Chain A
């Protein structure tokens, strides 16, 4: 087990290093940099561009250095917990992103819990009542959940809430709490607003999870040990929970790996639509204005969240399933 852990940690660190390089290259791909766009903008507004000021800024932001050196500066900064400097806001990145990182994590955790809480009972019911009307209906709903892009779902929910309840459910908390210190009232308001984005972001993952859990459980239920146990007279409920369920649970944990990137993608676009103060809008504008370090640190944060989540799911899987541990 210890050996497995060490191996897994090493791969995780290496993955993160490669990802950081990839992220940096991708962000640097567009021609020019933030300053060239900035100069263009100033010129478009008919303002004079002072070359010495540009040179000063270029030096200060380190944009005159070769690419690999910029990368090294940024990457070593990340290790020290320094996320870099945002050009657009002229502030440290950590200050710009501040609370949004925390809110992103909360949103993600809530969504994962939502997916588990919904997918588990439905998946088990679907598998044990195969080809019943409820099963057919739930399967169809599952397909629908996969087919409807979640930003459209967000639009529909916004529309429905507007038409039926006459309320706006955009945002993550009541506007009066924004930028205030955390109190119970603020927390309550957060919970009140959380359901809509969680529902929207979680729906695709839930649909996929139900389908996989159902398929796995169906496979297990056909195996001989189930028949044997039944022949021995084991009560159905105890049999189900004791044996096939344990095996069918594996993908539940293993899927966190593929679930997290999906959630991040969903969250980015949904948060733009629903104007949530999480990763989406900030990342989008940072990418568009070539705010290298803001975009890079943000992408890196999202990727780290994913990779660490995968690591946790792998370890949990190894603890639960001896076959994986011994491999």
Chain B
């Protein structure tokens, strides 16, 4: 074995010594990105965390678009809500085409030809493939009252002149399913929001009282929650909505149903508030506030609530789909909203028997928006929940 001394390579760097004054108290320099990270507010951090959950972002966009759209239902729907076409009862969906005989015509539909099968008395529709009827865009069509106030007739899409455009078919009265679906969205999407507001207020108040005071108050509230939780939801909804007077106007029934949905949803939220409060009220800042003589509402509202608001919003978001489904189920059974109010559940109640589904499967189309919104709320809420606690 030969012991070889390290050979100095000619391109080795000379020993470097910095001449700058050395100050051990000076913080280590940070890169701009790192500095941004450390100084970010909790809201910014939540946003960063949320952004990573791709499906949740997409769902958020879907929901945002849907809620903006229900502001302008009258303009988006191609037909007015009360428009009936008695010549086209149970018409199948008409597809939108772009090419006719290989040449580009722009969006158009083929007209439907109606024939009654005299043997089975079945309505039969065939589309006339020779005459493309172009759809009108940004046009004047059926008259409506925007939000029931401003009269107008401007639509994004209109049926062709002296033609029809039933994108999702028509129902038993010859009403356009696509337009009814759009109007139904206004009811179905808002019912969850109002319901959650009711249960949010109840949940925060009752859960706050239970969690902050503890002791026997907490015990009583806990028992009540347990009882409410052990009752099956749907029969209770049924019983309560059967209790709504039959002579109420549709608007009153709408509010009645939202309140019923909200009334039975609060225990879950109240539980979340309570358990969070129980752990938070031991924190130093809460104790300090109490020692300085702050009253319970001040401590809860000012110090504790902001601390877990994000959690609450996340769990509330996750509770909205349950309400949308609840309304759908109730209306489906005929105990929720009733015609002339149009909601997705009301639309689906027409698809209740197997004959209707087998003959007119497009009556099931309202299922699709129901599933999309509930899925979107679930994913969105999931993302919010993950983002709610950005420090972990």
Residues of A at under 8 Å CB distance from B?
A: 11, 14-15, 18-19, 22-23, 26-27, 29-31, 143-144, 146-149, 151-152, 155-156, 158-159, 162-163, 168, 170, 257-258, 260-262, 264-266, 268-269, 272-273, 283-284, 287-288, 295, 299, 302-303, 306-307, 310
Query: Beta-carbon contacts of B336-369 to A below 8 Å, as 1s and 0s?
Result: 0000000000001001101001100100100100
Q: Within the complex, what minimum Cβ distance (angstroms) separates B172 from chain A?
A: 17
Establish whether residues B232 and A303, one from each chain, have CB atoms under 8 Å apart when the complex forms: yes
Establish whether residues A283 and B230, one from each chain, have CB atoms under 8 Å apart when the complex forms: no
Establish whether residues B242 and A30, one from each chain, have CB atoms under 8 Å apart when the complex forms: yes
By a CB distance below 8 angstroms, the chain B residues around A27 are: 239
Residues of B at under 8 Å CB distance from A?
A: 223, 226-227, 229-236, 238-240, 242-243, 245, 321, 325, 328-329, 332-333, 335, 348, 351-352, 354, 357-358, 361, 364, 367, 370-371, 374-375, 378-379
Given A159-B361, A168-B354, A269-B329: A288 touches B232 (CB 8 Å cut-off): no
Establish whether residues B238 and A284, one from each chain, have CB atoms under 8 Å apart when the complex forms: yes
Establish whether residues A284 and B367, one from each chain, have CB atoms under 8 Å apart when the complex forms: no
Q: Compute how far the CA of A26 lies from the CA of B378 in the bound complex, rounded to whole angstroms.
A: 31
- Which of A19, A31, A143, A266 is B231 in contact with, Cβ under 8 Å? A19
Q: Within the complex, what minimum Cβ distance (angstroms) separates A324 from chain B?
A: 16
Q: Compute how far the CA of A18 lies from the CA of B225 in the bound complex, rounded to whole angstroms.
A: 12
Establish whether residues A307 and B230, one from each chain, have CB atoms under 8 Å apart when the complex forms: yes
- Which of B227, B236, B245, B374 is A147 in contact with, Cβ under 8 Å? B374
Once A and B bind, how many residue pairs between them come within 8 Å at the CB atom?
Answer: 124
By a CB distance below 8 angstroms, the chain B residues around A262 are: 232-233
Establish whether residues A273 and B231, one from each chain, have CB atoms under 8 Å apart when the complex forms: no
Given A147-B371, A272-B333: A302 touches B239 (CB 8 Å cut-off): no
Q: Within the complex, what minimum Cβ distance (angstroms) separates B26 from chain A?
A: 38
Closest to B357 in A: A159
The 6 A-B pairs with the shortest beta carbon distances in the complex, nearest first, are A265-B234, A264-B232, A29-B243, A147-B374, A261-B232, A147-B375
Q: Compute how far the CA of A281 lies from the CA of B278 in the bound complex, rounded to whole angstroms.
A: 44
Q: Within the complex, what minimum Cβ distance (angstroms) separates A177 from chain B?
A: 21
- Which of B232, B234, B240, B325 is A29 in contact with, Cβ under 8 Å? B240
Q: Which of B227, B321, B352, B358 has the most CB of A within 10 A?
A: B227
Q: Compute how far the CA of A268 lies from the CA of B232 in the bound complex, rounded to whole angstroms.
A: 10
- Which of B230, B238, B245 is A303 in contact with, Cβ under 8 Å? B230
Q: Which of A18, A149, A151 has the most CB of B within 10 A?
A: A149
Establish whether residues A306 and B232, one from each chain, have CB atoms under 8 Å apart when the complex forms: yes
Establish whether residues B375 and A287, one from each chain, have CB atoms under 8 Å apart when the complex forms: no
